């Protein structure tokens, strides 16, 4: 796909608007080819929906959401960076630096996806938001394999030990509590130092399980919790999505975001009510 730097070059020319109109059909054709190539990739609608909402947020803020940059980082870590390369997004984002022309490129992409005459079958409509919401839940918010917290699991084991062997739990209570408290304070200090740096890059290289890697997972999860209510509000009525909402449970990482989790649950309840009302009121 064409890259953001092209928009920076065109923007600097005296006849920028005319050039945009002349090459728009070519840009759209390249975009359609890329979307066709990856349309069946798991998580692709979630990625597109994230970019759309990032563009909307960008109109209200000078910076791109760090959570989106962290999501791009995780894609690179999982070996799926080629998708970002083909979409023209690799290198386009960090929390501070971005390629020249990135805001214009994302604005073009949003207008392209929301215009049926230009994007055709790839239009990001209400059905695509249904898929994005399902992927947001299944691949992230409810993916216990990817986004569960070891400390929370340790606390669960602690409760089991208290119930089954209270004498053993009392024996290890003092040192166990001190270790957990020390781990918590160390993590808080490290994360504050990362946040103070103010720089998040999709090309960062951190080993899995490190504090830095955990911080990026934290940001990505937070970003998707923010996205879920937006996706559900824009989604069409879907019994399949309703079933997913009823059966899936948030991972333990969601407990770090009580306000966002409350808003997500309220959005889920509102969507399920819409589904119920449409079913009752249907033929």
In tens digits, the chain (283 residues) has pLDDT values of: 545 556 656 666 677 677 667 777 888 888 898 899 998 898 999 999 998 887 766 544 446 677 887 788 788 778 887 888 777 776 555 443 455 567 777 788 888 899 999 999 999 999 999 999 999 999 999 887 776 654 444 455 556 666 676 655 555 555 455 545 554 544 555 545 545 444 555 556 667 777 777 888 888 899 999 999 999 999 999 999 999 999 988 988 888 889 999 999 999 999 999 999 988 765 5
Domain membership flag for residue 192: no
Q: How far apart are CA 262 and CA 259, in angstroms?
A: 5
Q: How far apart are CA 131 and CA 237, in angstroms?
A: 11
Cα torsion 222, 217, 93, 3: sign: negative
Q: How far apart are CA 80 and CA 162, in angstroms?
A: 43
**Token digits for 104?**
């214009």
Residue in the block written with tokens 């996806």:
113
Contact (CB, 8 A) for 132 and 49:
yes
pLDDT score for 205? 67
**Token digits for 213?**
């890697």
| Residue 140 to residues 112, 184, 224, 230, 231, Cα–Cα distance (Å) | 27, 23, 8, 16, 14
First to last CA, the chain: 45
Q: How far apart are CA 134 and CA 222, in angstroms?
A: 17
Enumerate residues 6+ apart whose C-beta is below 8 A from 126: 234, 235, 236
pLDDT score for 60? 47
Q: How far apart are CA 221 and CA 253, in angstroms?
A: 8
Domain membership flag for residue 105: yes
Burial of 97 (0-12, 13-18, 19+ CB in 10 A): exposed
- Residues spanned by the domain of 46: 1-147+216-283
Domain membership flag for residue 196: no
pLDDT score for 170? 54
Q: Which residues pair with 94 in a beta bridge?
A: 201
Domain membership flag for residue 167: no
pLDDT score for 95? 44
Global confidence as pTM = 0.76
What is the C-alpha R_g of the chain? 22
Domain membership flag for residue 32: yes
pLDDT score for 212? 74
pLDDT score for 26? 82
pLDDT score for 124? 93
| Residue 102 to residues 90, 162, 199, 253, Cα–Cα distance (Å) | 11, 54, 17, 31
Classify residue 95 by its DSSP letter.
S
Domain membership flag for residue 154: no
Domain membership flag for residue 188: no
Number of domains in the chain: 1
Domain membership flag for residue 130: yes
Residue in the block written with tokens 């309840």:
269
């Amino acid at each position: 796909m064409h890259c953001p730097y092209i928009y920076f070059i065109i923007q600097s020319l005296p006849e920028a608007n005319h050039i945009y109109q002349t090459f728009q059909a070519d840009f759209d054709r390249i975009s359609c080819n890329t979307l066709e190539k990856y349309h069946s990739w798991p998580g692709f609608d979630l990625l597109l929906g994230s970019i759309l909402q990032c563009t909307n947020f960008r109109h209200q803020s000078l910076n791109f959401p760090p959570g989106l940059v962290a999501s791009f980082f995780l894609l690179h870590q999982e070996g799926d960076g080629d998708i970002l390369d083909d979409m023209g997004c690799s290198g386009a984002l960090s929390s501070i630096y971005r390629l020249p022309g990135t805001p214009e490129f994302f604005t073009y992409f949003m207008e392209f996806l929301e215009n049926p005459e230009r994007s055709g079958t790839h239009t990001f409509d209400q059905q695509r938001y249904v898929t994005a919401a399902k992927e947001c839940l299944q691949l992230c918010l409810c993916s216990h394999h990817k986004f569960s917290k070891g400390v929370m699991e340790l606390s669960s084991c602690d409760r089991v030990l208290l119930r089954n062997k209270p004498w053993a739990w009392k024996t290890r209570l003092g040192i166990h509590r001190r270790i957990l408290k020390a781990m918590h304070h160390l993590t808080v200090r490290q994360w504050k130092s990362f946040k103070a740096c103010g720089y998040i890059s999709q090309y960062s290289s951190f080993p899995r399980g490190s504090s830095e890697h955990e911080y990026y997972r934290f940001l990505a999860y937070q970003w998707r919790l923010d996205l879920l209510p937006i996706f559900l509000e824009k989604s069409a009525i879907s019994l399949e999505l309703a079933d997913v909402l009823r059966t899936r449970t948030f991972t333990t990482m969601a407990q770090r975001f009580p306000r966002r989790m409350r808003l997500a649950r309220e959005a889920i309840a509102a969507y399920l009510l819409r589904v119920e009302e449409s079913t009752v009121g249907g033929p």
